[in-house]
Chain A
Amino acid sequence: MAATNNDFSTHVATVNGSGSQTANTTLIRAILQMGVPVSGKNLFPSNIAGLPTWFTIRVSERGYVARKRRNDVLVAMNPETSVEDISAMGPGSILILNEGVPTPRIPEDRTVYKIPFNKLVEPIVPDAKLRKLVINLVYVGVAAHVLGVDLEEVDRSLSAQLGRKPKALDMNRAAVKAGAEYAAQHLQPAPFRVERRGKTSGKILIEGNQAAALGAMFGGVTFLSWYPITPSSSLAESLQAYLERYRRDPKTGEATFAVIQAEDEIAAIGMVLGASWTGARAMTTTSGPGLSLMTEFTGFAYYAEVPAVIWDIQRVGPSTGLPTRTSQADILSAAFLSHGDTKHILLLPATVEDCYAFGMKAFDLAERFQTPIFVLSDLDIGMNVWMSEPFHYPEKPWDRGKVLAAEDLAKVATFERYRDKDGDGIPYRTLPGTDHPLAGYFTRGSGHDEKAAYTESAETYARVMDRLAKKYETARSFVPPPVVDRVPGAEVGILGFGSSHWAIVEARDLLTVEGLKTSYLLLKAVPFTNDVRSFIEACDRVYVVEQNRDAQMASLLTMEYPDLATKLRPVLHYDGLPIDAESVVERIKERERVEVLTR
């Protein structure tokens, strides 16, 4: 059989808490070091240790990093799931099995390698408890040999991770070696091979949550308040670690930031509002259930016009749902979070670069528009490792928005907190502590007039609400615009956002091969910019790809452009697994057949 080089997906089934992370990271990095594009996805249970967990490593010369629906190589370490894992593998696949795991009847066309993992690791690690953590490195050795991953790169990658723990490094090295030597003696190379290329030079590997934390730090965050919840905790924890390291007064060593682990998400957002109102760049991180708890305060912030940055790393709901699976199903709740007429600005990162950039941008928008900004990432972007170009140091100074200092107040006769002086719907604010008799004002969630005084006047209420709507209109020209790829002659458009991006990129190539040309709009924010309308107008029909059941983005588009609604065709994926290209292709093709038939 001819070898398939640099285009396959390896699925590793282990047990949660068994040290599989070191093993998987070692393989991924080694492949990246060989110049071949690679990505990794963790599928883990809502549990700390003992339940099955899977990790998928996709090698793709063409740079496809979305989940692949079918895997080509299986490493089955976990006896609990081996029967199911093996049954899911297709014709021509390679099965690397831990000797003794239960197996179903395996068809002839699969290549089976049975490896005595326990026997191989026993002489290296006498302590049975430790052995469980090291055994996974044996499969790294086996896989490296079978798949053609350079052992020197594996060693470099392992040293990069464990360099500071010499004892652990030695043990893990020995395990890799044992696996590789066994494989060299007993196994044939697989028909799936990694071959050196020069396609990853300068690239970094990073998780979206880490990228977001870096962005927030460069964006000048000085206050973080949060309550732990998967999959957002790693954002808060990375940010805290970065701040502790890089944000200390060089002279005194004192922290120039504050992080508070709040008692719940209501308190977390409350503290953020208190700090932003006082002039800090403040943010919180959360996921579904926490977002629900923030409802009342975000409506307050919208109406009383207090900045806030809220990162929602979406997971599967409703309620506790599948807490360790991914989704894009908080779009509508975030867009309108609160009772009463409320419209929020949303940022939609599709890549780790976006996470980094929006880490900064969210603060500029929050302060410019004096309103909560929701950044809707998800578990797939946030907690998986992605290859990326290195991030750039920010080029522009921050936009601190319309804030009047004492010197500014000295030049004016009156200050009215909620007066629309510039005609853009955005009033001026002052910060507590400003030493000027005009500075003070009363912030309230009850009816207020331009002077921030209490009122129940019908006209005033409506006037303020209209101004808030105008402010939202102004935001259209400040939010990140979509990325549009108009293909001449293409009737069909695809509109996507967030982590669906990579599956769409791949799906478009597959569709082109099958003769269907598509244009593409990658949405980066709500409210929509005019490019979104012109894109839909220019296409005959637009497939709106999203990872939720209720076509939430398509619904928002329909509300915004009722005249274009009949052009929208939802493509929905909502099983908690990251969306894959084949699913997108299948659904579009199915629908296209109907389009052609009914023409």
Chain B
Amino acid sequence: MTPVETNGKNRIGLTVADYRGAKSTLCPGCGHDAITGSIIQAAFEAGLEPHRVAKLSGIGCSSKTPAYFLSRSHGFNAVHGRMPSIATGVFVANRALTLLGVSGDGDTASIGLGQFLHLVRRNVPLLYIVENNGVYGLTKGQFSATADVGTKAKGRPVASRHGRRRRDQSLRHVQ
């Protein structure tokens, strides 16, 4: 990776601030914010040209985060579980763009599993980050498809809105 210059600018002359976005509205301490921070740092260090990046997401707390980084880039916050089709269309229309997708475990593995698989099958080149917290954060803690069978949610995560005690409702349990 190109080293960061000492004057706080990267190889294309931008500062970290140029890669930031709007202020996060997530719960204080939410893990998604940590990932946002890492994306900002990585984009800065890699010297990405913001105008060449397209940020894509679905619906969920995780999918809100593209608003919190790279505000100079175009972003597309789609409908729930369908970001892969948007990404496919964007890729086909302008192959010079770098695509950065952010999704949640619900967005990817529950409602969006179909589109996710077809995205993989078509080999669309994008960085696809699944911010996997095992639950639906935005709708307050229901389990997603990535939760382990029989998992019981532990108490509330720090100041978050989810974490109610609930059993995963896989078929085994509803039979």
Contact = CB atoms under 8 A, between A and B. Distances in A.
Interface of A: 222-223, 225, 258, 260, 262-264, 266-280, 282, 296-297, 300, 430-437, 439-446, 453-454
B88 A274 contact: yes
B114 interface: yes
Given A267-B85, A453-B22, A445 B79 contact: yes
B118 A263 contact: yes
B78 interface: yes
21 contacts: A223-B93, A225-B89, A263-B114, A270-B78, A270-B89, A271-B92, A275-B93, A276-B89, A277-B89, A278-B89, A278-B90, A278-B97, A297-B79, A297-B82, A300-B79, A432-B94, A435-B51, A439-B72, A445-B77, A445-B78, A446-B77
A300 B93 CA distance: 20
A434 B77 contact: no
B97 A440 contact: no
A434 B51 contact: yes
Interface string B40-83: 00000000011110111000000000110011111111110010
A270 B85 contact: yes
B87 interface: yes
Contacts of A271: 85-86, 88-89, 92
A432 B90 contact: yes
A278 B115 contact: no
Contacts of A439: 51, 72, 74
B97 A432 contact: yes
A442 B97 contact: no
Contacts of B118: 262-263, 267
Contacts, number: 141
B38 interface: no
Contacts of A436: 51
Contact of B75 (A223, A267, A441): A441
A311 B78 CA distance: 22
A270 B51 contact: no
Contacts of A272: 89
A433 to B, nearest CB: 5
A264 B92 contact: no
A453 B67 CA distance: 9
Contacts of B97: 278, 432-433
What 4 A-B pairs are tightest by C-beta distance, nearest first? A274-B89, A270-B85, A278-B93, A275-B89
A225 B124 CA distance: 15
B25 interface: yes
Interface string B163-174: 000000000000
Contact of B92 (A258, A266, A440, A445): A258
B96 interface: yes
B89 A223 contact: yes
Contacts of B75: 440-444
A273 B74 contact: no
B74 A440 contact: yes
A34 B92 CA distance: 48
Contact of B25 (A222, A296, A440, A454): A454
Interface string B107-126: 00000001100100010000
Most buried by A among B79, B84, B91, B97: B79
Contacts of B25: 454
Contact of A296 (B72, B79, B92, B96): B79
